[in-house]
Amino acid sequence: MSKALPDDTQAIEDSAHRELVEKIRAVVLETPGHAEYFANRIREARKKVDEASPEDQGQFWHPLNNEQMYGFQTLGQLPSPETIRVLGEFLYDERGLFPKYNPALQDRARNRGENANSDRALMTLARMPLIFKPVQPRIRNHVIYDEDINAWRLWYEQIKAGTRTFRFEGDPQEYSLAGPVSEARVPQGDGASRKAPRSPAEASASPLDEKKSLPVWSLVGASLLLATALWLATRRNSHAD
């Protein structure tokens, strides 16, 4: 049994780890295609399942589950307009969705899509640090597919149509799918408009979709480093418990 680290040493390590994760996250978020990269991996894995014969599908389910698990987990750590677009589009991909459960079985707490991208995207959006979510957060950001999916789809459709903006916790900047915007937009009848003033530096910044792409290896390398850092954090927390 390993000895516990002194509190001050543990605090230093925690601080260093958080700094590492934030640096990696910043690099990934600055890279156009950071969310689409994971979306493409998930789509390709799903395509192999769909195109396989019934007797051969089994060998492709595990790779699909892995791509969904790591892909959506990482997307949840990348708050950006591109990530919102990717997750929003996945809300409509119900391939693999389970049939509705019988309410009499009192099994409503379970999700309906172990292999459905729509269910994974729903869970990821619910857990992201978004301000003004369309569904009142539950304990541990739990979701109930049939009760929540339409509200999140409407929220995304409004963003896609340009009638709603969004922002993230700790960031006063309002965003559309194209990038930063000067003021909040809220659909009529959905509450008062929210204004988020921008600093001169923010106002002169280029939208996310106008930045030059970094080499593919930079995206892959930074993404893997982020996933590794998050994995180490998860392992350390589990050992601490």
pLDDT tens-digit series, residues 227-240 = 655 655 555 565 55
The two structure tokens encoding residue 39? 């979306």
pLDDT-based confidence at residue 28 (cuts at 50, 70, 90) = confident
pLDDT tens-digit series, residues 193-239 = 344 433 333 333 333 333 334 444 455 555 666 665 565 555 556 55
Q: For residue 223, which amino acid is it?
A: S
- Coil, helix or strand for 57? coil
Residues 6+ apart with CB under 8 A from 97: 112, 113, 116, 118, 119
Q: For residue 208, which amino acid is it?
A: L
pLDDT tens-digit series, residues 82-129 = 999 999 999 999 998 877 655 554 444 445 556 799 999 999 999 999
Q: What percentage of the chain's residues is helix, strand, coil (to nearest 5)? A: 55, 5, 40
Is-above-0.95 flag for pTM?
no
The two structure tokens encoding residue 222? 């930074």
Domain coordinates of the chain in residue numbers?
A: 32-165, 213-241
pLDDT tens-digit series, residues 34-77 = 999 999 999 999 999 999 998 898 899 999 999 999 999 999 99
Question: Over 90: is that where the pLDDT of 167 sits?
Answer: yes
Angle at 181 between CA 148 and CA 205, to 5 degrees: 130
